[in-house]
């Protein structure tokens, strides 16, 4: 980390790099402690059927409540957890909490699917399917209640290994989703060969689709592509009713976004569900 090799082969000490590697080391130590100190929190964001307004499931999103830094968002530590391999520990934590939540909701009479995000390293983790299987068994839950989200780039990092892990997970009964679709470099021919059930359109295309024609067309063509491949299609980043009604009119199946709900602590999900009133979509649609 702290050494740079010059053209002539000499190794130069780089203090700036050293400082950052020290920081990385302390971040890794803190991440490890965060598990023991119970600083991670499971948040969930509801997934809504856009034609009916019914809640169909939720996505599990992790938060880190750091004693000094406050709420640390996943974008600030997931890439690092990924680089260092800590992600495997974290993914297992998220899955365990999601399985518990699913069991609690079931006991309260709610059958909702929970989506869990996987990273590149998870796809290379040979033990992952067995570990998940064991957690489900312990809580009397079925893989059919879970959807695993994988980004295109995570799959393309090592397509062969990804294919093996995904085939194993799919054979167990997990649903699979391609997350942030449209932002990576996957080939359609390759995606077609995977046992995928769902495409999630990245929020970067959805956020401004009312005003940006380019984004609108990307969303439109992704929905047609999903239809042609017989996949469910989900839009993330719905921030207002207009975008919901546009997507509903384009035959998009499901959506997530701040308009319906920001991610909330898992413990608040039951109350949120009890209070959810779908907007009158018919009315919204007719204003197009």
Residue numbers of the site for ligand C2E (CB under 6 A)?
45, 60-62, 73-75, 78, 91, 94, 117-119, 149, 179-180, 203, 236-239, 256-258, 263
> Of ligand C2E, Mg ion, none, which one sits near residue 261, judging by CB under 5 to 8 A according to partner kind?
none
> Cβ closer to ligand C2E: 103 or 208?
208
Which tokens is 126 given? 């040979």
Options 171-179, 213-221, 249-257, 262-270: segment touching Mg ion (CB under 5 A): 171-179
> Cβ closer to Mg ion: 136 or 207?
207
Angle at 146 between CA 143 and CA 151, to 5 degrees: 120
> Cβ closer to ligand C2E: 17 or 278?
278
> Cβ closer to ligand C2E: 143 or 237?
237
Kindly tell me which residue out of 30, 125, 175, 179 binds Mg ion, with binding defined by CB under 5 A.
179
Q: How far apart are CA 239 and CA 9, in angstroms?
A: 54
Q: Restricting to residues 105-164, name those near Mg ion by CB under 5 A.
A: 117, 149
> Of ligand C2E, Mg ion, none, which one sits near residue 73, judging by CB under 5 to 8 A according to partner kind?
ligand C2E
> Cβ closer to Mg ion: 179 or 215?
179
> Of ligand C2E, Mg ion, none, which one sits near residue 186, judging by CB under 5 to 8 A according to partner kind?
none
Compute the least distance from the CB of residue 272 to Mg ion, in Å.
19
Compute the least distance from the CB of residue 218 to ligand C2E, in Å.
16
Compute the least distance from the CB of residue 66 to ligand C2E, in Å.
15
Using CB under 5 A as the criterion, what x/- string covers residues 222-261 for binding Mg ion? --------------x-------------------------
Q: Restricting to residues 26-85, name those near Mg ion by CB under 5 A.
A: none
Q: What is the dihedral of CA 79, 81, 84, 85, to 10 degrees?
A: -120
> Cβ closer to ligand C2E: 258 or 272?
258
CA 35 centroid distance within chain? 20
Compute the least distance from the CB of residue 187 to Mg ion, in Å.
20
Compute the least distance from the CB of residue 8 to ligand C2E, in Å.
42
Strand 55-66 with 70-72, pairing:
antiparallel
Compute the least distance from the CB of residue 117 to Mg ion, in Å.
5
Residue 269 CB partners (closer than 8 Å, separation 6+): 44, 46, 58, 101, 105
Compute the least distance from the CB of residue 277 to ligand C2E, in Å.
18
């Amino acid at each position: 980390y702290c050494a740079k090799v010059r053209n002539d082969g000499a190794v130069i000490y780089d203090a700036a790099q050293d400082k950052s590697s020290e920081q990385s080391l302390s971040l890794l130590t803190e991440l490890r402690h965060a598990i023991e100190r119970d600083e991670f929190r499971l948040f969930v964001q509801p997934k809504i059927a856009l034609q009916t307004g019914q809640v169909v499931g939720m996505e599990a999103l992790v938060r880190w409540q750091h004693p000094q830094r406050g709420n640390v968002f996943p974008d600030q530590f997931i890439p690092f957890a990924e680089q260092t391999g800590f992600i495997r520990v974290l993914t297992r934590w998220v899955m365990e909490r999601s399985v518990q939540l699913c069991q609690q909701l079931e006991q309260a009479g709610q059958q909702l699917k929970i989506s869990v995000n996987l990273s590149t390293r998870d796809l290379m983790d040979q033990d992952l399917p067995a570990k998940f299987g064991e957690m489900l068994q312990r809580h009397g839950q079925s893989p059919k209640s879970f959807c695993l989200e994988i980004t295109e780039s995570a799959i393309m990092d090592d397509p062969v290994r990804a294919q093996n892990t995904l085939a194993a997970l799919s054979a167990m009964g997990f649903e699979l989703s391609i997350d942030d679709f449209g932002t990576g470099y996957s080939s359609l021919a390759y995606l077609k060969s995977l046992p995928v059930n769902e495409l999630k359109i990245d929020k970067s295309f959805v956020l401004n689709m009312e005003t940006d024609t380019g984004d609108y067309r990307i969303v439109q063509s992704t929905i047609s592509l999903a239809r042609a491949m017989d996949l469910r299609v989900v839009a993330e980043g719905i921030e207002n009713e207009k975008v919901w009604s546009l997507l509903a009119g384009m035959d998009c199946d499901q959506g997530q976004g701040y308009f319906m709900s920001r991610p909330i602590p898992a413990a608040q999900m039951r109350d949120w569900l009890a209070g959810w009133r779908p907007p009158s979509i018919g009315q919204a649609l007719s204003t197009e």
